[in-house]
């Protein structure tokens, strides 16, 4: 599964669909995924060798289970740029575009930071989730720098 990679790509601002949100449990799921990728101009990322083969140049087999190596692979394959920047544009859970949070949304969210001064807040109108660039974003940015550093070494362990 590529759920963590999906969330990372959304944090980078990419409009990303997950097979988990599309699958309906029928035997034609792979064909449906390929069709969605083709008609929407998306690249199909998969850990399924047969699905990647069927997808041809519009699909990429993700080799590693490690999300940092997965991002490095996307950079090596020029799907992602060499320099990655976190963007608060999409909800990491549902892919809905974020909007600036209203003051009451920030105040009413129990997990919002105590220190709000100088921070920009973003809101997912679908999930009702609050986002901001805090220590979690710094940690994610550090992990993305690791991915950029590892992009030239496909045998990184």
Same domain flag for 97 and 71: no
Same domain flag for 24 and 45: yes
Percent of the chain with pLDDT over 90: 62
Q: Is the pLDDT of residue 124 over 60?
A: yes
Q: Is the pLDDT of residue 157 over 80?
A: no
Same domain flag for 123 and 151: no
Same domain flag for 12 and 75: yes
Same domain flag for 109 and 154: no
Same domain flag for 26 and 42: yes
Distance CA 94, CA 96 (A): 6
Same domain flag for 31 and 81: yes
Length of the chain: 157
Instruction: Say which residue, 118 or 125, is predicted with more confidence.
Output: 125
List pLDDT tens digits, range 18-76: 887 776 655 578 888 899 899 999 999 999 999 999 999 999 999 999 999 999 999 99
Same domain flag for 34 and 13: yes
> In terms of residue numbers, what domain contains 16?
1-86+135-157
Distance CA 112, CA 102 (A): 13
How many domains in the chain? 2
CA atoms within 13 A on the CB side of 17: 16
- pTM for the model stands at 0.85
Same domain flag for 42 and 101: no
Same domain flag for 79 and 95: no
> What does pLDDT average to over the chain?
88
Same domain flag for 1 and 65: yes
Same domain flag for 63 and 95: no
């Amino acid at each position: 599964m590529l759920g963590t990679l999906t969330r990372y790509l959304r944090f980078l601002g990419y409009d990303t669909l997950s097979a988990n949100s599309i699958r309906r449990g029928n035997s034609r799921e792979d064909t449906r995924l390929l069709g969605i990728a083709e008609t929407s101009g998306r690249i199909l990322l998969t850990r399924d060798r047969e699905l990647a083969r069927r997808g041809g140049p519009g699909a990429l087999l993700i080799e590693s289970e490690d999300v940092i190596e997965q991002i490095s692979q996307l950079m090596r394959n020029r799907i992602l740029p060499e320099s990655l920047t976190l963007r608060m544009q999409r909800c990491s859970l549902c892919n809905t575009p974020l909007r600036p949070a209203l003051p009451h949304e920030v105040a009413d969210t129990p997990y919002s930071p105590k220190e709000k001064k100088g921070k920009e807040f973003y809101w997912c109108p679908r999930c009702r989730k609050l986002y901001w660039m805090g220590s979690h974003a710094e940690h994610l940015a550090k992990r993305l720098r690791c991915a950029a550093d590892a992009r030239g070494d496909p045998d990184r362990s």
